[in-house]
């Protein structure tokens, strides 16, 4: 019975991992933010520790080593703090968005390799297949199917509605509230600018992410408030994805051997 239950939950595994990852990321970012603030206070505390060690006749080599490195810590912490901890928020946001993308892809691939009728469902929805209508027999073949299906279902849609169309085609009834659309689109736009344009906005900023209030060529900064909005929208999406997988007919389909 235990093995059967695990087999029936394969469609929800990727979404559940995404929920956990997003939660872990906010804890990591919060810890780093506190660490940056704490570094500015370490120097005086180390000096006190050194004086106390000398007074008690204890060795000071470890404290001296930390004091020698303190200027580097101070400079790095000061630079990050002056940017509003943008570096921490930027890297955290990239990790969160990657978790969202991977959750969608892994959910789709799980359906492709475990549902023998998925090829017929895709064809009936009007999408072109990379071969015949048979389900892919390997994960590498399923990834090729996914890449082609993602391009077709995303065509002319926002990233959120593209994900909905893709997963609904595969029998996962994802349906997100309308108010999620703009922020998901902005988050995706910011991710693309960071990775492909060195963090600089392009000419699409006004249409794809008007709330950023940045001009083409201007650097995009992720402050604490914006980071929290991205964290919230990713968490909301991962919860919606998890609910959709649980509501799908695949939840009762055994994992393919």
DSSP class per residue in the chain: -HHHHHHHTGGGHHHHHHHHHHHHHHHHHHHHHHHHHHHHHHHHHHHHHHHHHHHTT---HHHHHHHHHHHHHHHHHHHHHHTTTHHHHHHHHHHHHHHHHHHHHHHHHHHHHH-TTHHHHHHHTTPPPSS-SSPPSSHHHHHHHHHHHHHHHHTTS-HHHHHHHHHHHTT------GGGHHHHHHHHHHHHHHHHSTTB--TTHHHH-GGG---TTPBP---HHHHHHHHHHHHHHHHHHHHHHHHSGGGGSPPP-
Nearest to 50 by CA among 68, 72, 74, 67: 67
- The number of domains in the chain is 1
- Asked, for residue 224, whether it belongs to a domain, the answer is yes
- Asked, for residue 2, whether it belongs to a domain, the answer is no
| pLDDT (0 to 100) of residue 65 | 74
- Asked, for residue 63, whether it belongs to a domain, the answer is yes
- Asked, for residue 58, whether it belongs to a domain, the answer is yes
The parent domain of residue 153 ranges over 8-252
| pLDDT (0 to 100) of residue 234 | 95
Taking only the tens of pLDDT, the chain with its 257 residues reads: 333 444 458 999 999 999 998 888 877 766 655 555 555 566 666 667 777 778 888 888 876 776 676 655 555 555 555 555 678 888 889 999 999 999 999 999 999 999 988 888 898 899 987 665 677 778 888 999 999 999 999 999 999 999 999 999 999 999 999 999 999 999 999 999 999 999 999 999 999 999 999 999 999 999 888 989 999 999 999 999 999 999 999 998 888 76
- Asked, for residue 109, whether it belongs to a domain, the answer is yes
Largest pairwise CA distance in the chain: 82
| pLDDT (0 to 100) of residue 31 | 65
| pLDDT (0 to 100) of residue 2 | 35
- Asked, for residue 134, whether it belongs to a domain, the answer is yes
pTM: 0.79
- Asked, for residue 1, whether it belongs to a domain, the answer is no
- Asked, for residue 54, whether it belongs to a domain, the answer is yes
């Amino acid at each position: 019975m235990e093995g059967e239950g695990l087999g029936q939950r394969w469609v929800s595994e990727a979404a559940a991992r995404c929920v956990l990852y997003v939660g872990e990321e906010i804890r990591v970012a919060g810890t780093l933010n506190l660490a940056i603030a704490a570094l500015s206070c370490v120097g005086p505390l180390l000096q006190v520790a050194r004086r106390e060690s000398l007074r008690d006749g204890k060795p000071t080599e470890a404290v001296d080593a930390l004091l020698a490195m303190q200027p580097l810590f101070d400079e790095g912490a000061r630079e990050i703090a002056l940017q509003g901890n943008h570096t921490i928020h930027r890297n955290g946001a990239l990790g969160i968005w990657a978790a969202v993308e991977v959750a969608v892809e892994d959910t789709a691939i799980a359906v492709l390799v475990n549902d023998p009728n998925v090829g017929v469902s895709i064809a009936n929805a009007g999408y072109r297949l990379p071969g015949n209508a048979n389900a892919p027999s390997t994960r590498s073949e399923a990834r090729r199917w996914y890449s082609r299906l993602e391009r077709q279902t995303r065509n002319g849609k926002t990233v959120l509605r593209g994900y909905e169309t893709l997963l609904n085609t595969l029998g996962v009834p994802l349906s997100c509230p309308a108010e999620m659309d703009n922020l998901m689109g902005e988050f995706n736009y910011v991710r693309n600018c960071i990775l492909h344009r060195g963090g600089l906005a392009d000419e699409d900023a006004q249409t794809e992410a008007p709330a950023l209030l940045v001009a083409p060529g201007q650097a995009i900064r992720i402050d604490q408030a914006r980071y929290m909005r991205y964290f919230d929208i990713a968490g909301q999406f991962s919860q919606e994805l998890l609910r959709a997988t649980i509501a799908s007919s695949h939840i009762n389909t055994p994992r393919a051997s």
